[in-house]
Amino acid sequence: MLTLSPVDAALKALAEPRRREILRLVWNDELPAAQIAARFHDVTRSAVSQHLAVLREAALVTERRDGTRRLYRADHAQMDRLRQFLDEYWTGSLQRLQDLAESAEREKGKH
Amino acid sequence: MLTLSPVDAALKALAEPRRREILRLVWNDELPAAQIAARFHDVTRSAVSQHLAVLREAALVTERRDGTRRLYRADHAQMDRLRQFLDEYWTGSLQRLQDLAESAEREKGKH
DNA sequence: ACATTCAGTGAGTTGACACTAACGTAAGGG
DNA sequence: CCCTTACGTTAGTGTCAACTCACTGAATGT
């Protein structure tokens, strides 16, 4: 369960609507955690912090320390990688081998 | 929980690796549930059946009855719709308003 | 009619995850 | 030095999803 496949991690992260909103906030602007959390009245900073951790582990955002603050920004390169995977998924066949390899690896971890 | 947004449902369905494998199996070929389940030695037919239900609720596959069998096939149109949403997500701005509307609607349902 | 095959469904268990609340920590300011 | 700011982290809780097992139901074969 340590280190999910990058594609899994990214898709799972994006499946959560709140994380999509967070990601959109830092899509073009670099923002500190406090400003991000301030946009949500219905969840605590802690929850936002945990969402940011998930996004960071999926490499969808990058973190930069500036004194006591931490500035987050979307990683467009990682998003491009996911987009590329999905494009090859729709269009079909080339991706087949790689995904089978991924699932085989997942099997090894299970048994 | 009442009718998730289509995008949510699709992303959530795709976040599960096993469902991606199933979806790939019926990507070009129409297959009965038994043949789909037969490809997985580590889960029961019941589990596969439930995965198929999730995919069907996300409209990612279509179901066709043929006597006692049920034949499944990927719905490319729905996948195209998701792809379009994601494309507009990366490229940014047009989608902003619609997604905010979605999250607002989600808020209404919660409180 | 009876058994068989293919499939969905319900109960119940396990595990993952989103969340809150409380605590811990590192950097400056007074 | 406190104290505040701006974070992360941990414990604990409620909820939901994936799974197995057992059952039911519909179509078909004999």
* Residue A92 with chain B: CB contacts under 8 Å: 27-28
Structure tokens at A8: 């899994």
Closest nucleotide relative to residue B68's CA, C1' based:
D27
Please tell me whether residue B102 adopts helix, strand or coil conformation.
Answer: helix
How far, rounded to the nearest angstrom, does the alpha carbon of residue B7 sit from its chain's CA centroid?
Answer: 9
Determine the distance between B48 (CA) and D28 (C1') in angstroms.
24
Contact A51, A39 (CB under 8 A): no
- Count CB pairs under 8 A between chains A and B: 58
Q: Does B92 touch chain A (CB under 8 A)?
A: yes
- DSSP H or E run through B7: helix B6-14
Q: What pLDDT does residue A63 have? A: 93
What are the respective helix, strand and coil percentages of chain A, to the nearest 5? 65, 15, 25
pLDDT tens sequence across A57-68:
999 999 998 888
Positive or negative, the Cα torsion across A31, A37, A41, A47?
A: positive
If one counts every other C-beta atom within 10 angstroms of the C-beta of residue B106, the result is 15
Q: In chain B, which residues have their Cβ closer than 8 Å to the Cβ of A79?
A: 90
Q: Using one digit for the tens of pLDDT, what is the confidence trace for A7-56?
A: 888 999 999 989 999 999 999 889 999 999 999 988 999 999 999 999 99
At a CB cut-off of 8 Å and minimum separation 6, what does A42 contact?
Answer: B107, B110
Domains of chain B with CATH codes = 6-110 (1.10.10.10)
pLDDT tens track for B9-23: 999 999 998 999 999
Radius of gyration of chain A (CA): 16
CA A77 to C1' D18, in angstroms, rounded, equals 32
- pLDDT tens figures, B30-65: 999 999 999 998 899 999 999 999 999 999 999 999
